[in-house]
A = this chain, B = another copy of it.
Amino acid sequence: MTDSIIEPRAVSGFPEWLPEEEAEFQRLLGIVKKGFETFGFAPIETPAAELLEVLASKGEINKQIYTLARPNAAEEERETDMALHFDLTVPLARYVAMNFDKLSFPFRRYQIQKVWRGERPQKGRFREFYQCDIDVIGHESLDPLNDAEIPAVIYGIFTKMQIGAFVIRVSNRKILQGILLEFATPAEIAMEALRIVDRLPKIGADAVQHDLETGCGLPSELAAHIIEIAGISGRGADVMERLEKNNHSHPLYLEGAEELKLLVTNLAALGVPDDAFEVDLSITRGLDYYTGTVYETFLRDYSQLGSICSGGRYDNLASHFTTQHLPGVGISIGLTRLFSNLLDAGIVKPSAKSPSKVLVSVMDRARLKDYFSAATELRHAGIPTEVFLENKRFKAQIKYADKKGIPLVLIAGETEFATGTWLLKDMRNGIQTSISRKELVTCVSSLL
């Protein structure tokens, strides 16, 4: 039976990595996971697919959504009522509503999963990517202290990643909203004004002034004042001082300022240094979903990447699924895009092609049991170890270790078996050490 060859192609926009890249991706993923757990966030996972009516809870099914079907199944089993999730927020809302009675609140969960969006394929834009999300969900209420703690989670993770200097920018939407309401702006127009202010860094003050006046009908002076306030940014204490001078009195404004102050005040105790943090009142995050604190995180040397970790406070997680009032605060890291960019920029580098730390070379296949025993000892000690199993010359074995990035090669031939003194070749510097077979694990450990 001869088969015709099919060209092996992957779907465009669905990234996959070589083993040495994947190992590095997994390392970063591990840092994120550990970072989340260090703050007491518990893992959950939801299915890749949800019912269409669940995904459509916030509005229409948009054209980026991938629907599922089994076109070759019997008619009643074609299952055209589901689709892949496009974010982890709708699934979380559904999960919390469904399991409300079994969860303890405040519910602190993290979720690290792939999401899918049918975007137009182009470089660096993915249609399948990992999102790493945390949320704290309260029942009825959720203390603003939760917002204050989030920058510490962000700081911990990106510090551990060692991907260069970064800055966490924070604002509180209530501040600008309060000012707008104080000047009798209707709520919907205030919302629209925030969306316009969100574009301040992109289109500049003049364009925003124009849009606020013509698009929202704001008086010229109010528009100018909003732009002035939105222009405030800097170290926490300085910003708070400038805000206090403004003498605004709307309760929403005061609440926003108070929440921001709570955040700024506790940063040092939470281990976040001043230079990794900035208040930036121009951040409004466009979406109506967020109601108070908002976060964005930028790499100082790669600000063109945009925010690498964003989120904020919202008023009610699951209003579409339950009558329970569930306020929350959360952030999301788009790890696939970040990783891809860091790799391109050379900030993270591919790892070894193998997790093995030791290659046990085989010089005499009649002594296989001895080689396997040595490998078993190392493995029991938790040291990833390979035995070279192909029937090839020693030179090929060394070449294999070199290509795969395995740091140590264990060597034993006739002399070594006779004396009980084996050799350990360090591939990183070429140095060959004699070691006692009996102290194998100790000797290997000391070299790793």
Contacts and interface: CB of A to CB of B under 8 A. Distances in A.
Interface string A1-16: 0010111111100111
A116 B375 CA distance: 36
B384 A6 contact: no
Contacts of A66: 68-70, 79
Interface string A34-76: 1001111111111111110110010001111111111111100
A171 interface: no
A354 B54 contact: no
Contacts of A368: 145, 266, 269
B386 A40 contact: yes
B71 A44 contact: no
B120 A77 contact: yes
A183 interface: no
Contacts of A50: 10-11
Contact of A19 (B9, B44, B152): B44
Nearest to A74: B63
Nearest to A365: B145
Nearest to A62: B72
B48 A48 contact: yes
Interface string A165-200: 000000000000000000000000000000000000
Given A104-B353, A128-B48, A10 B42 contact: no
Interface string A352-388: 0111100000000000111011011001101111110
Interface string A94-138: 110111001110101100001010101000000010000000001
Nearest to A142: B390
Main secondary structure on chain A at its contact with chain B? loop
Nearest to A356: B40
Interface stretch (A241-249, A277-285, A316-324, A437-445): A316-324
Given A66-B70, A99-B18, A355 B41 contact: yes
Interface residues of A, number: 118
A386 B270 CA distance: 12
A82 interface: yes
A422 to B, nearest CB: 16
Given A6-B54, A9-B54, A43-B19, A387 B48 contact: no
Nearest to A372: B269
A73 B69 CA distance: 16
Contacts of A149: 372, 387, 389
A156 interface: yes
A88 to B, nearest CB: 12
A302 interface: no
B47 A11 contact: yes
A300 interface: no
A67 B65 contact: no
Contacts of A321: 5-8
Interface in A252-298: 265-266, 268-271
Contacts of A403: 104
Contacts of A383: 38
Nearest to A119: B77
A415 interface: no
Contacts of A265: 369
B106 A389 contact: yes
Contacts of A104: 353, 400, 403-404
B94 A39 contact: no
8 contacts: A9-B98, A19-B43, A48-B128, A66-B70, A104-B400, A106-B389, A145-B387, A269-B372
Given A5-B322, A104-B353, A146-B389, 11 more contacts: A3-B319, A6-B53, A8-B321, A14-B48, A18-B103, A22-B45, A64-B70, A67-B68, A104-B404, A269-B370, A270-B376
Task: Report the 5 A-B pairs with minimum CB-CB distance, sorted nearest first.
Answer: A14-B47, A40-B386, A40-B356, A269-B372, A8-B97
